Structure 1
C-alpha cells in the first residue's frame, strides 16, 4: 500500500521511496495474472476465459470502456495459451496472410489475441483473420470498447461475422475495487501518497478505472517534477480538471 496503506510491489513496500531519486523512465504496465484487480464487473469475462465452456466458432470478444481490464485479460489469456498478441490499429491484410503462410517464426499459429480490434481500419484484414481462424480451428480472443455487432464496418461479410461473435461485457468496477486499483497503480509507479490524501482523492475522482489510471499517471509526473511526495495541494493542481467537490462525485 502507498504511504500508510502497506500494499506491496515486488514484495517491497514503497514507503521507503521518500527521498529516492525518481528517473523519468516511461511507465510500463504489468499484465501478470497476480497484478489483475478482480471485480464482479469482470466475473463473466473471467468465466468465459478460464471456464470449460467452448467459445462458439472458437471466437470471443471482450468489450467495455477504456481502463476496465480488457488488455490485461487478453495478455493473461495469451500468456496462458501461448497466443500471438496483435494490435487492431496495426493489422493489415499482408500481415494476416503472412501469419498463416509461415506461422510465427516457422511455428504454427495455435491461438491469437487481437487488442483494440475495433480500431482496425483494414476491414479485409479483419475479415481474413476471422475466416482463417474459423477454418483452421484457431482460438481468437478480441478486445474492443463496444460489442462487435456495433463496430462501424462497411463489408457485409465482416458485419455478419461480427454479429455472430460471442461478446462479453466488462463493466466499471465498484468503489472497493477502484480503491484497490488506485493503490496498486500508485504502488507500481512507486508514488508516495499518504492515507488521508488517498481518501481525499477517492472521494473526488470519477468512479471509473480510466480515471484511476489517469490520476496515477498525472501524479507520477507531478511528483517527479516537484521532487516531493504527493501532497493534497500537489494533487489538487495536477488533477484540477478531474476532481469534483467532496460528496457529490457523479456516477459514470
Structure 2
C-alpha cells in the first residue's frame, strides 16, 4: 500500500513523467511563503516576479501552477534566454498589462544588460530555501506515494537524520529505495534504506547515528 499522504501539497492537473498520479508541490518551510507571494500577482512590483531555487525544488511545477491558475505568463529557464529578448519581453508585458514570472536556477543568474538589470532589480525576488526535517519527510512520502511505495514512520525516523537537505538527493534516494525493493523482490526495510543512502550519499552518511 502507498504511504499515506499526510503532508500538505498543491495538486496539479498535469501528468508528471510516466506516472498516472498527478504532479504535486509539497508545501513546507522552504516554499510556503513563496507560494503565498506567487498567488497574489497584483502585489508584484511592475507585475513581475523572479523565482529561483536549487535543482528539483519544484520551480517549474510552481510555474505551471501559476500558469494553470491564469495568474501570469511564465518564462521557465529565463537565465538561459537572451537578455535582449527578455528586455523586449518585459517591455511588451508592461505595455499589455501582463503579469510575468521568470524562473531561474539558484544564484547563478548574473544579468549584464544594464536596462534589463535595472528593470528586473525592481521585481519581486523569491527563492526556494533549504527544506527542514518536516519538509524532508513530506518529500520522501510524496515521492513514495507517487511510486506506490510503502514507507512509514520507521523509514522516516531512519532516513531523515541521515539524508542531505537536498531536493534532488531526496528524489534520488526514494528512487533507489524503489529500485532496490523491486530488484530484491522484498518490501523496503533497514537494509534497503541503508544501501540506498550509501548509493546516493556515500557509506559514511548511511552509518551515522
Pairing partner for 2:74 from 88, 97, 113? 113
CA RMSD, 1 decimal: 2.8
Structure 1 unaligned spans of 5+: 9-24, 84-110, 248-252
Aligned partners of 2:91 and 2:133: how far apart in 1? 41
Higher strand residue share: 2
Written as runs of structure 1 = structure 2, the 5 A alignment for 1:166-185 is: 166-185=124-143
Answer yes or no: is 1:242 the counterpart of 2:201: yes
Partner of 1:228: 186
Aligned partners of 1:29 and 1:151: how far apart in 2? 33
Partner of 2:165: 207
Pairing partner for 2:62 from 73, 76, 79? 73
Q: 1:206 Cα deviation (Å)?
A: 0.8
CA deviations over 1:30-52 (Å, ceiling 9, x no partner):
44xxx332223323312222247
Structure 2 unaligned spans of 5+: 7-16
Verify the 8 A CA contact 2:51 2:103 in the aligned structure 1. Answer: yes
Aligned length: 195
SS in structure 2 at match of 1:113: strand
- C-alpha change, 1:198 and 1:146, in structure 2 (3 Å) is closer
Verify the 8 A CA contact 1:68 1:172 in the aligned structure 2. Answer: no
Largest Rg, 1 or 2: 1
Pairing partner for 2:111 from 138, 153, 176? 153
- C-alpha change, 1:138 and 1:212, in structure 2 (3 Å) is same
Aligned partners of 2:41 and 2:51: how far apart in 1? 17
Q: 1:183 Cα deviation (Å)?
A: 0.8
TM-score normalised per structure 1: 0.65
Aligned partners of 2:28 and 2:4: how far apart in 1? 21
